């Protein structure tokens, strides 16, 4: 029996190492890791960016797994290629699931005034986007950050805040933590909840997430 190909897309600015704690059988699955690339310019559409990412996908009907902004991106990729399943973790399915804070930023365009120093400074980034209460946990995530270019980070922030997806795509499995402070669970619809899971639960709840992924693909 052929193995099921899974392509993993990490969260904003992160590398594939964030998936290192997942426990999925190599006898059932083949693992491939997508990585962030530099946007052509700040105006590149997320669809065009996703189109360029598809060049790294070599299988027909793969499973796509994305974390946070990576979850948004794999949904865009699924508009371009056929997929067996799309699994998003600590992410959103539409712009309606974004918090009021994000919507205010999008409308006001204040994020465009962020200095390069702010965008490149993880501690400032964590305070603003994750909140002071979870900053210590966010530092756990810091060592997995591998993409620090100002253009990429500004492009990413713009596309998170201005994603225009109106309705849920089909064939989506959404895994979300009940303690996610970036994308609060109260705004999230139709998800598989992980009790106590924060926005960095791909690191702290990997065993539970692994079970959910496997069940979603085999049941």
Angle at 67 between CA 63 and CA 68, to 5 degrees: 135
Helix, strand or coil, per DSSP, at residue 172: strand
For the chain, domains (ranges, CATH) are 4-218 (3.40.50.1820)
**Closest to 177 (Cα-Cα) out of 71, 32, 79:** 71
Q: Which range, of 8-22, 82-96, 141-155, 160-174, averages the lowest pLDDT?
A: 141-155
Predicted model pTM: 0.88
Q: Is the pLDDT confidence value at 182 over 90?
A: no
Q: Which range, of 3-17, 115-129, 159-173, 185-199, averages the lowest pLDDT?
A: 115-129
Beta-sheet pairing, 172-177 with 192-194? parallel
Check residue 14 and give its pLDDT: 84
Average pLDDT over residues 3-15: 92
Q: What are the residues facing 8 on neighbouring strands?
A: 33, 65
Query: CA separation (Å) from 34 to 20, 73, 139, 151, 202?
Result: 14, 11, 23, 19, 16
């Amino acid at each position: 029996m052929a193995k099921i190909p899974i392509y993993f897309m990490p969260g904003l600015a992160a590398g594939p190492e964030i998936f290192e704690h997942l426990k999925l059988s190599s006898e059932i699955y083949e693992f491939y890791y997508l990585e962030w690339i530099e946007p052509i310019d700040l105006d590149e559409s997320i669809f065009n960016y996703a189109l360029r990412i598809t060049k790294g996908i070599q299988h027909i009907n793969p499973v796509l797994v994305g974390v946070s902004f990576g979850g948004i991106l794999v949904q865009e990729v699924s508009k371009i290629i056929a997929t067996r399943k799309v699994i998003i973790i600590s992410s959103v399915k539409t712009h309606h699931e974004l918090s009021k804070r994000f919507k205010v930023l999008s409308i006001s365009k204040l994020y465009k005034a962020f200095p390069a120093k702010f965008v490149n400074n993880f501690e400032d980034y964590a305070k603003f986007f994750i909140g002071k209460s979870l900053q210590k946990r966010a530092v756990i995530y810091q060592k997995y950050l591998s993409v620090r270019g100002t253009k990429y980070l500004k492009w990413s922030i713009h596309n998170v805040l201005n994603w225009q997806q109106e309705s849920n795509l089909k064939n989506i499995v959404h895994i979300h933590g009940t303690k996610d402070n970036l994308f609060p669970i109260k705004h999230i619809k139709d998800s598989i909840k992980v009790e106590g899971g924060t926005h960095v639960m791909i690191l702290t709840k990997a065993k539970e997430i692994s079970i959910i992924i496997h069940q979603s693909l085999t049941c």
